[in-house]
């Protein structure tokens, strides 16, 4: 076993950390408070070529794997950018995977170079209010009209819809009750987010406010047949290709937030004096921080194994889910302990750990909850009866 990062991976970590360091905690506090997309940050990473880290070289990218993407996003989050920074580029880095694997050559040539240079924002439209994580129960419907499709329906929790020009949209082209299998009859499109037929309404939320989360109301959106990805009715299979990478990348972001929070907590514990001594001398504060470090390190090892398996074409669902579960918990616990270490000042915005806390909490919900991870492990790893 070799636990060393390759020379390329070490270079990526160093270069990303240096670039992200140009945008300090005050920058992210202001963007979050103003609900303003971090355009300067996004443009800097686009100019550096980082948005194309996993895009094949023939379309202008670097052709690296999920391991390198996870290192990139971990360093972004660890810089203090947290989920605001990571989410600004997250979908550009992995979200186009169904297009890369199943899209037409014309679609790839038209969209992937624009993803790489940062010119094209794309959002991912899957989740619906009435379906939640039960994707097979979505009801947004694409009805054939000649060679086109006409789509009506509703989506929710769609990140970056306000900024996006296009949407990777999952619909039904056959009703659930008319499909031979519940996973059939779902069709995936990459199409224009036409504001004349899509009403976008931002959702008020507790954190990650530099990146919008939105409800979409779709009314007679006309989609040309050439915007369909792959075969009609096979969309569920296509989005499955991206689920394990998504879990790994969110795990890396949780890991980065945890490390950012721990760094601030250690600094504060070493500088803040009460009763004539630094509070970091007190085991009641020191031990939880040390415990968080061990848990972050352990979670990182599972994440590294998961991304290695994926990049080497090995089965990785168990490890991807485990990494998401452990990194999310370790990252949130570190953020919680960082806030506690700061005492009353942790509850203020001045020391930034309150923002880390809010954003770390998100990783225990998205892209799937901790409970759904345990459902997967229980059924598919332990072989226990399906619990839901």
Write the pLDDT tens digit of every residue in 114-141: 999 999 999 999 999 999 888 999 999 9
Structural domains in the chain, CATH included, are 7-116 (1.10.540.10), 122-235 (2.40.110.10), 240-381 (1.20.140.10)
pLDDT at 330: 98
Separation of alpha carbons 12 and 57, rounded Å: 17
Separation of alpha carbons 369 and 187, rounded Å: 25
User: DSSP string spanning 174-225?
Assistant: S-GGGSSSTTSSEEEEEEE--TTTEEEEEPP-SS-TTS-EEEEEEEEEEEEG
Q: H/E element holding 101?
A: helix 97-102
Residue among 234, 235, 230, 147 nearest 188 (CA): 235
Residue among 228, 199, 233, 231 nearest 215 (CA): 199
Separation of alpha carbons 250 and 238, rounded Å: 20
Only one residue has tokens 């070490």, namely 10
pTM of the model: 0.96
Separation of alpha carbons 376 and 130, rounded Å: 21
pLDDT at 302: 98
List the beta bridge partners of residue 78: none
What's the whole-number mean pLDDT along residues 288-292?
A: 98
Asked if residue 171 lies in contact with residue 151, where contact means CB atoms within 8 angstroms, the answer is yes
Six-digit token string for 209? 């406010």
Predicted confidence (pLDDT) at residue 2 exceeds the cutoff of 90? no
Asked if residue 125 lies in contact with residue 169, where contact means CB atoms within 8 angstroms, the answer is yes
Predicted confidence (pLDDT) at residue 240 exceeds the cutoff of 90? no
**What is the overall mean pLDDT for the chain?**
96
In this structure, of 36-40, 49-53, 177-181, the range with the lowest mean pLDDT score is: 177-181
What number of residues does the chain have? Answer: 388
DSSP 8-state code for residue 246: H
pLDDT tens for residues 323-370?
999 999 999 999 999 999 999 999 999 999 999 999 999 999 999 999
66 or 388, higher pLDDT: 66
Residue 123 three-state SS: strand
Predicted confidence (pLDDT) at residue 199 exceeds the cutoff of 90? yes
What's the whole-number mean pLDDT along residues 294-314?
A: 97
Separation of alpha carbons 253 and 359, rounded Å: 10
pLDDT at 133: 84
Predicted confidence (pLDDT) at residue 55 exceeds the cutoff of 90? yes
Residue among 258, 257, 251 nearest 367 (CA): 251
Only one residue has tokens 């790893």, namely 381
> At 141, phi and psi to the nearest 5?
-120, 135
Separation of alpha carbons 359 and 257, rounded Å: 8
pLDDT tens for residues 71-111?
999 999 999 999 999 999 999 998 899 999 999 999 999 99
| Burial tier of 106 (Cβ tally within 10 Å: 0-12, 13-18, 19+) | exposed
């Amino acid at each position: 076993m070799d636990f060393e990062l390759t020379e390329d991976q070490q270079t990526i970590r160093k270069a990303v950390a240096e670039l992200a360091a140009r945008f300090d905690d005050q920058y992210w506090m202001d963007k979050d408070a103003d609900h303003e997309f971090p355009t300067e940050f996004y443009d800097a990473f686009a100019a550096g070529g980082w948005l194309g880290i996993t895009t094949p070289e023939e379309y202008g990218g670097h052709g690296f794997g999920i391991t390198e993407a996870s290192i990139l996003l971990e360093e972004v989050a660890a810089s203090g950018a947290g989920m605001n920074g990571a989410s600004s580029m997250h979908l550009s880095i992995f979200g186009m995977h169904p297009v890369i694997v199943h899209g037409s050559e014309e679609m790839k040539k038209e969209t992937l170079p624009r993803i790489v240079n940062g010119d094209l924002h794309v959002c991912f439209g899957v989740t619906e209010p009435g379906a939640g994580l039960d994707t097979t129960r979505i009801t947004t419907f694409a009805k054939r009209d000649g060679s086109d499709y006409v789509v009506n329906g509703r989506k929710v929790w769609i990140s970056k819809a306000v900024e996006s020009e296009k949407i990777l949209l999952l619909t039904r082209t056959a009703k659930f009750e008319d499909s031979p299998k519940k996973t059939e009859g779902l069709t995936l499109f990459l199409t224009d987010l036409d504001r004349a037929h899509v009403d976008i309404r931002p959702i008020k939320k507790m954190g990650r406010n530099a990146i919008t989360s939105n409800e979409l109301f779709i009314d007679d959106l006309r989609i040309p047949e050439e915007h369909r990805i792959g075969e009609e009715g096979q969309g569920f299979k296509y989005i499955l290709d991206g689920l394990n990478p998504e879990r790994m990348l969110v795990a890396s972001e949780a890991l980065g937030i945890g490390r950012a929070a721990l760094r601030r907590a250690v600094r504060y514990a070493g500088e803040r004096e009460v009763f004539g001594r630094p509070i970091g001398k007190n085991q009641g504060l020191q031990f939880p921080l040390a415990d968080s470090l061990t848990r972050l390190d352990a979670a990182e090892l599972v994440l590294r194994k998961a991304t290695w398996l994926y990049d080497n074409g090995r089965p990785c669902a168990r490890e991807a889910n485990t990494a998401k579960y452990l990194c999310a918990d370790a990252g949130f616990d570190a953020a919680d302990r960082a806030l506690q270490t700061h005492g009353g000042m942790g509850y203020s915005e001045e020391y930034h750990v309150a923002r880390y806390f809010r954003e770390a909490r998100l990783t225990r919900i998205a892209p799937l909850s901790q409970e759904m991870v345990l459902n997967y492990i229980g059924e598919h790893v332990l072989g226990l009866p399906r619990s839901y």
